[in-house]
């Protein structure tokens, strides 16, 4: 962005999807872009309204879970902007899985019966429910791929104390249960998701986005059991369809591989899928809004003044 800094801005960070601005080392301005990433690579074409979808779902879910644990969010002054407390992040992601799918299924189908130190039951099929949700943490890499890690390794490496881990585990499972309840009301199953946490003083806060298509996977509940019984593919809402398209076009983020060209039709399809997920999860019609860079700047400045 070629614009003047926000008032009291001391730093900025441009991630794969979000642009983050640090205010007085106490607040974060997080702008959700329309960029899309998969396999830790930013794809070449932005997806219209994706930033708004992510930001508004996250804000809805953070508001709906405030009774479970404190979270970072203070204001959403624009559809694609969130402002909140700056926390000292744990360098781990709390991945919660309700069903055997994705990375867990790939591990399982290759013969693995342990994931991140968690034992996986015998006799499961792809997409089956675990007897109860499991936590399979990963490291939060600043560059490259996140790596699986066990609870014991997290504590031994000092990424979280044993006492903090107990709180993180309790929060993650309670948030997942709430997410499943919200999804069930809309005819969906929250399959798996990830949470990020940080600290201010001695208080642990939920950070970043939750229960969005970039951080979560949803199945349609209607017909789930029948599809499982028939060993059919589950109908899902998530970013997984983008990954599947990339794999089908010989791209998995590996060295030497080239990102396939995204046609205008495919970009439009992705955008519509994100909007579909918004409407399914929130239960409201999506209202697309686009603010110019200057309009965004002005509403952020007004919010920062109000919060100061």
pLDDT band, very low/low/confident/very high, at 239 (cuts 50, 70, 90) = confident
What's the rounded Cα separation, in Å, for the pair 109 and 116?
A: 16
Tens-digit pLDDT profile for residues 90-105: 999 999 999 999 999 9
Q: Is the pLDDT of residue 257 over 80?
A: yes
Question: Which residue from 227, 235, 233, 232 is spatially nearest to 277, judged by alpha carbons?
Answer: 235
pLDDT digits (tens, 9 = 90+) for 274-290: 998 899 999 999 999 99
Mean pLDDT of 42-55: 94
Letter string b/e over residues 252-274, b meaning 16 or more CB atoms within 10 A of that residue's CB: eeeeeeebeebeeeebebbbebb
User: Model-level pTM?
Assistant: 0.91
More confident residue, 69 or 15: 69
For 133-188, the pLDDT digits (tens) are: 999 999 986 655 679 999 999 999 999 999 999 999 999 999 999 999 999 999 99
Opening angle at CA 105, ends 101 and 111, nearest 5: 165
Residue pair 168/94 in contact (Cβ under 8 Å)? The answer is yes
pLDDT at 143: 58
- Is pLDDT at 122 greater than 90 in this prediction? yes
Q: Please state the separation of Cα 173 from the chain's center in Å.
A: 16
Q: What pLDDT sits at residue 129? A: 98
Q: Is 208 helix (H, G, I), strand (E, B) or coil?
A: coil
Whether 269 shows a pLDDT value over 70: the answer reads yes
Read out DSSP for 122-191? Answer: TT--TTPEEEEEEE--EE--SSS---B--HHHHHHTTSS-HHHHHHHHHHHHHHHHHHHHHHHHTTEEEE
Q: Which domains does the chain have, with CATH numbers?
A: 9-87+263-307 (3.30.200.20), 89-238 (3.30.470.20)
Nearest to 241 by CA among 266, 211, 210, 278: 266
Per-residue pLDDT of 188-234, as tens digits, reads: 999 999 999 999 999 999 999 999 988 999 999 999 999 999 999 99
Count of C-beta atoms within a 10 Å radius of residue 55: 22
1 has a pLDDT exceeding 80: no
Backbone angles phi, psi at 176, to 5 degrees: -65, -40
């Amino acid at each position: 962005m070629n614009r003047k800094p926000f008032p009291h801005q001391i730093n900025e960070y441009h991630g794969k999807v979000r642009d983050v601005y640090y205010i007085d080392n106490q607040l974060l301005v997080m702008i959700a872009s329309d960029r899309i990433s998969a396999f830790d690579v930013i794809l070449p074409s932005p997806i219209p309204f994706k930033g708004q979808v992510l930001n508004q779902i996250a804000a809805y879910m953070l508001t709906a879970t405030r009774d479970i644990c404190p979270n970072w969010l203070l204001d959403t002054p624009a559809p694609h902007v969130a402002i909140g407390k700056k926390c000292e992040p744990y360098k781990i992601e709390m991945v919660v899985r309700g069903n055997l799918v994705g990375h867990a299924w790939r591990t399982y189908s290759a013969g693995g019966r342990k994931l991140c130190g968690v034992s996986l039951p015998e006799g499961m099929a792809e997409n089956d429910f675990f007897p109860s949700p499991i936590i399979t943490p990963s490291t939060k890499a600043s560059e490259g791929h996140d790596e699986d890690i066990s609870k014991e390794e997290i504590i031994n490496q000092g990424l979280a104390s044993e006492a903090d881990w107990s709180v993180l585990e309790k929060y993650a499972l309670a948030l997942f249960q709430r997410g499943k309840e919200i999804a069930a009301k809309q005819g969906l199953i929250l399959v798996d998701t990830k949470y990020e946490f940080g600290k201010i003083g001695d208080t642990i806060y939920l950070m970043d986005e939750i229960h969005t298509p970039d951080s979560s996977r949803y199945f349609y509940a209607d017909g789930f059991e029948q599809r499982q019984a028939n060993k059919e593919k589950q109908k899902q809402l998530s970013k997984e369809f983008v990954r599947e398209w990339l794999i089908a076009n010989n791209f998995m983020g590996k060295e030497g591989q080239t990102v396939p060209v995204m046609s205008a039709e495919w970009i439009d399809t992705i955008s519509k899928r994100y909007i579909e997920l918004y409407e399914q999860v929130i239960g409201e019609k999506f209202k697309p809004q686009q603010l110019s860079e200057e309009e965004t700047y002005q509403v952020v400045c007004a919010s920062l003044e109000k919060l100061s």
